[in-house]
Amino acid sequence: MGNIFQIPCDGAFFNRCLDCFLGEAAYISNLQDNLDALDTELGKLIAAKNDVMTEVGNAERRQMRTLERVQEWVSTVDSVKTGADELITNGSQEIDKLCVGGYCSKNCWSSYKFGKQVAKKLRDVKTLIAEGVFEAVATEVVPERAPEPVADKRPIEPTILGLQSQLEQVWRCLVEESVGIIGLYGMGGVGKTTLLTHINNKFLESPTNFDCVIWVVVSKDLRLEKIQEDIGKKIGLFDGSWKNKSVEEKAVDILRRLGEKRFVLLLDDIWERVDLTEVGVPLPSPQNTTSKVVFTTRFIDVCGSMESHRKFKVACLSEEDAWELFREKVGQETLESDHEIVELAQTVAKECDGLPLALITIGRAMAYRKKAEQWRRAIEALRRSASEFSGLGKEVYPLLKFSYDSLQNDTVRSCFLYCCLYPEDYGILKWDLIDCWFGEGFFGESDRSGAENQGYDILDTLVRACLLEEVEDDKVKMHDVIRDMAIWITCEIEKEKRNFLVRAGAGLKEAPDVKRWENVRRLSLMQNQIETLSEVPTCPHLLTLFLNFNKVEMIADGFFQFMPSLKVLKMSDCGNLILELPFGMSKLGSLELLDISHTHIKELPEELKLLVNLKCLNLRWTVWLNKIPRQLISNSSRLRVLRMFAIGWFNFHEASEESVLFGGGEVLVQELLGLKYLEVLELTLGSYQALQILLSSNKLKSCIRSLQLRLVRDTPSIIDATAFADLNHLNELYIFKGIELEELKIDYTEIVRKRREPFVFRSLHRVIIGECHKLKDVTFLVFAPNLKSLRLFDCGAMEEIISVGKIAETPEMMGHISPFENLQSLDLDDLPHLKSIFWKPLPFTHLKKMAVLMCDQLRKPPLDSNSAKERKFVIRGYTGWWNRLQWEAEATQIAFRSCFQPYS
């Protein structure tokens, strides 16, 4: 028989086994009670957690830091709750498996495992509750303050693409350079506040050594108390008692608190100087840059008054960046809704001229216009009357108008609005604009010299206020949106007072109905394609009329007879179409400025003698004019400005005896001597005798601004250029047809004796000399330090521009002469014997263009490695000439190779 297996067993071992069996069985028998208890205790835990989170929220609002222990407890509660919820959800299925009154299960192993999990979870919940963290939260949710953020984040749209580079530039200046005060200036709506906001928020993203960044909006109504309150709130000073302190007391508190910090103060929208010392702000300096001040303003003057160490102009966007911004605001869905819309949208974007505020406003307005015809109507509206376009008259123009309102007086405001008479993107000659202002009477009874000084001051004011842009030394222009705003002011805001009708550059082929002119004070039809003015308007209030840059073939006789108040009449630049003035000009009894420059008019009518109030007469470049009746000039006794530069180019010497131009200008100069009030004179003379008469009159010499000599008759071989030294305001000098002229002599000894300094032609900016076949050099130009443009042509004997031999005669001058320091344009044409421009290389710091044509003997350019270091100018010439040039070094030739543009 087989063996029987036996296990020895004592009582203790049996009891332990029984306890274990009964304990394990309890996970099944107590399952229902444990699930109920888990549900109850879980509710208590969640309530405890909510109490804790309430305390945490209160603490954070008091800028208290939450202890890590509390944070861990909250995380554990969330984890336990997730597991408990799952057990409670699945509990009903396990209860259904129980049998034998709940003491057994149809699947003992499954019920056992589940019951054990429930029991453990119940213990975990009770443990978390028992820890009692929620009872201590009020004392353990940190008694110490959390560090405040360096800056308060401000809401902002994503960085405009074109501002990103400026943001980076200013940021480098802030964190790297020894700069204390930084000014950001630019026209309204250009993005100054946007840029400053991005700077503010960047302090939250990029670690720096600064303790706090303070944002203050200053605005037009400057109040030091408001600035102090904003600073006080940021640095923990502001409370009920501090608010009642005086400005001086607050300044002491701010100074003490900020003196302990490395701070950045951001001042937005400054309109005048803010006295930081009076506010209590410690002044940063290049030597003490532990703190910084950055401000925005519309006026470059404010950058000066705030003593900024660096200033940045926030400019309009480039065409590419402007299109990206506009496209973003319109939306791709709209742009793709019609195949024509993209091209039309680009046209609309260009109307905004890179101004972000206008791009955003118009882009949003066009976002849901998905038909090409809607876009065409929008373009028409923008060009006809931009103020009618959605958003511009309500959002954009009022913001820009703040700059206009801030101008110091009505004279400056009137001068500003006058600029909108010119077309979009038009470069307005400064002197021409001042002539118009003078003719309108904006300067009261002041003389032309006083008006000129006042006019240039006003132009500087408008440029510094970012209401005009300086495009060249002698020109300004209006930004398109600023111009639209100015027209809006004249038509909507001050329509009863200003009465402007502006259709400049509108593509008109016919003039507007003359009935619309009746109540107008200023009318501009400039730069259109109008050919006839056949109707006779009645304009009792009209002060200014711009008809220039049209294709006028016919003006009806009597056209001007019902314009009794007209002061300014511009009919210039009508090409070869205005050949004679209409009958009835004598009716313009109030006329003070008449501009018929750049026309092909052949003679002036006798009736102009009746324009007794005429102050400005502009005949520049009337190249066919050869008949000006005698006594017409002398009868204009109130003339202050007479511009006769380059008149009669083609037939000056064919003038009849009835014309003051007869004899090369001697008669003309005699009449000029009788003009008591003359202050500005531009003149063309055809004889050396007329020049001598001119130079004998101190009165006329003081008036000369531009002088053209067409020396066909009695030309001497030597002209003493020293005589020109007394023409203190001479700006332009043209010399032609000096057939016998060999030398323009300069007597250095005489200059020193009279002047005690050599640079006598300080006002001379532009010189053209041509068809002087015996002239060998123009050495006198070494005494013209501000010369900007020089053209020499058809001078067959010229070998040097500046003669080293003549300068060597005065050795004390050799080491001090560096001509052409301000030259921007050099044009040499048909100088077959020219060998030298100057005997050594020149810096050419400002040169933009050098053109050389038919100067085959010119082999050594006055350039070396130090000339025009940025290489931003253009050299034009034939390839053969360029290849024959002899350079000081091959490296120099290579350096200037990129500047060369060959003639085809």
Lowest mean pLDDT across 98-102, 475-479, 668-672: 98-102
Per-residue pLDDT tens over the stretch 487-515: 989 987 766 666 899 999 988 999 999 99
Residue matched to tokens 């109040």: 223
Coil/strand/helix, residue 122 = helix
Residues 136-151 have a mean pLDDT of 56
Say how far apart CA 704 and CA 702 lie, in whole Å. 6
Q: Output the six-digit token pair for 337.
A: 């809704």
pLDDT range class, residue 750, cuts 50, 70, 90: low
pLDDT range class, residue 741, cuts 50, 70, 90: very high
* Pair 265, 235: CB distance under 8 Å: no
pLDDT at 15: 40
Lowest mean pLDDT across 15-19, 523-527, 821-825: 15-19
| pTM for the whole structure | 0.76
What 3 state SS string does 306-375 have?
CCCCEEEECCCCCHHHHHHHHHHHHCHHHHCCCCCHHHHHHHHHHHCCCCHHHHHHHHHHCCCCCCHHHH
The answer, yes or no, to whether residue 139 has pLDDT greater than 50, is no
The answer, yes or no, to whether residue 17 has pLDDT greater than 80, is no
Which position has the higher pLDDT, 94 or 520? 520
- Cα-to-chain-centroid distance, residue 859: 43
Residues 16-26 have a mean pLDDT of 48
Say how far apart CA 688 and CA 248 lie, in whole Å. 74
Residues 870-884 have a mean pLDDT of 89
Helix, strand, coil proportions of the chain in percent (round to 5)? 45, 15, 40
Nearest CA to 770 among 740, 796, 794?
794
pLDDT at 778: 94
Which position has the higher pLDDT, 22 or 517? 517
The answer, yes or no, to whether residue 711 has pLDDT greater than 90, is no
pLDDT range class, residue 396, cuts 50, 70, 90: confident
What is the DSSP code (8-state) at residue 603?
A: B
Residues 783-792 have a mean pLDDT of 94
pLDDT at 771: 93
**Residue 321 identity:** D
Which position has the higher pLDDT, 80 or 407? 407
* Pair 208, 175: CB distance under 8 Å: yes
pLDDT at 196: 94
Alpha carbon separation from 87 to 106, 116, 145 (Å, rounded): 19, 11, 41
The answer, yes or no, to whether residue 137 has pLDDT greater than 80, is no
* Pair 142, 253: CB distance under 8 Å: no
Say how far apart CA 829 and CA 832 lie, in whole Å. 9
The answer, yes or no, to whether residue 791 has pLDDT greater than 80, is yes
Distance in angstroms between the alpha carbons of the first and the last residue of the chain: 127
What 3 state SS string does 261-287 have?
CCEEEEEEEECCCCCHHHHCCCCCCCC
pLDDT at 384: 75
Say how far apart CA 885 and CA 873 lie, in whole Å. 18
pLDDT above 70 covers what percent of the chain? 87
pLDDT range class, residue 8, cuts 50, 70, 90: very low
Nearest CA to 188 among 502, 459, 419, 484?
484
Residues 640-668 have a mean pLDDT of 88
- The overall average pLDDT reported for the chain is 85
pLDDT at 389: 72
Residues 864-888 have a mean pLDDT of 87
pLDDT at 21: 42
Per-residue pLDDT tens over the stretch 411-420: 999 999 999 9
For the domain bounded by 161-313, which CATH number is listed? 3.40.50.300
Q: 310-313 and 181-185 as β-strands: parallel, antiparallel, unpaired?
A: parallel
Q: Output the six-digit token pair for 315.
A: 């400019």
E strand or H helix at 210: none
Coil/strand/helix, residue 59 = helix
pLDDT at 799: 94
Taking residue 747's Cβ as centre, other Cβ atoms within 10 Å add up to 16
Per-residue pLDDT tens over the stretch 272-303: 999 999 999 998 877 776 789 999 999 999 99
Nearest CA to 73 among 143, 133, 26, 25?
133
Q: Mean pLDDT highest for which of 57-66, 725-734, 800-809? A: 725-734
Residues 169-177 have a mean pLDDT of 85
The answer, yes or no, to whether residue 772 has pLDDT greater than 90, is yes
E strand or H helix at 568: strand 568-570
pLDDT range class, residue 56, cuts 50, 70, 90: low
pLDDT at 500: 93
pLDDT at 577: 65
The answer, yes or no, to whether residue 387 has pLDDT greater than 80, is no
The answer, yes or no, to whether residue 410 has pLDDT greater than 80, is yes
Say how far apart CA 570 and CA 524 lie, in whole Å. 9
The answer, yes or no, to whether residue 434 has pLDDT greater than 80, is yes
The answer, yes or no, to whether residue 59 has pLDDT greater than 70, is no
Count of residues in the chain? 904
Say how far apart CA 69 and CA 136 lie, in whole Å. 11
Long-range contact list for 221-224, CB < 8 A, 24+ apart?
222/270, 222/271, 222/272, 222/274, 224/274, 224/275, 224/278, 224/279
pLDDT at 605: 94
Nearest CA to 157 among 208, 183, 185, 191?
191
What 3 state SS string does 143-197 have?
CCECCCCCCCCCCCCCCCHHHHHHHHHHHHHHHCCCCCEEEEECCCCCCHHHHHH
The answer, yes or no, to whether residue 444 has pLDDT greater than 50, is yes
pLDDT range class, residue 103, cuts 50, 70, 90: low
346 dihedral zone (left: phi>0; alpha: psi -120 to 50; beta): alpha
Write the burial class of residue 128 (CB in 10 Å: 0-12 exposed, 13-18 middle, 19+ buried): buried
* Pair 233, 309: CB distance under 8 Å: no
Q: Output the six-digit token pair for 515.
A: 């009935």
Residue 524: partners with Cβ closer than 8 Å, 6 or more residues away: 421, 422, 500, 501, 502, 503, 504, 544, 546
Lowest mean pLDDT across 106-110, 529-533, 567-571: 106-110
Residues 27-51 have a mean pLDDT of 78
Say how far apart CA 594 and CA 689 lie, in whole Å. 29
- CATH-assigned architecture of domain 394-498: Orthogonal Bundle (1.10)
What is the DSSP code (8-state) at residue 687?
A: E
pLDDT at 101: 54
Q: How many helices (H) does the chain have, and how many strands (E)?
A: 32, 30
Say how far apart CA 125 and CA 88 lie, in whole Å. 13
Dihedrals φ, ψ of 369, to 5°?
A: -95, 105
The answer, yes or no, to whether residue 111 has pLDDT greater than 50, is yes
Per-residue pLDDT tens over the stretch 189-235: 888 999 999 999 999 888 788 889 999 999 888 889 999 999 988 88
Residue matched to tokens 């009508």: 574
Taking residue 64's Cβ as centre, other Cβ atoms within 10 Å add up to 17
Taking residue 823's Cβ as centre, other Cβ atoms within 10 Å add up to 22
Q: Give the CA count within 13 Å in the CB-facing half-sphere of 496.
A: 0
Q: Output the six-digit token pair for 612.
A: 């007794």
pLDDT range class, residue 449, cuts 50, 70, 90: confident
Say how far apart CA 142 and CA 145 lie, in whole Å. 7
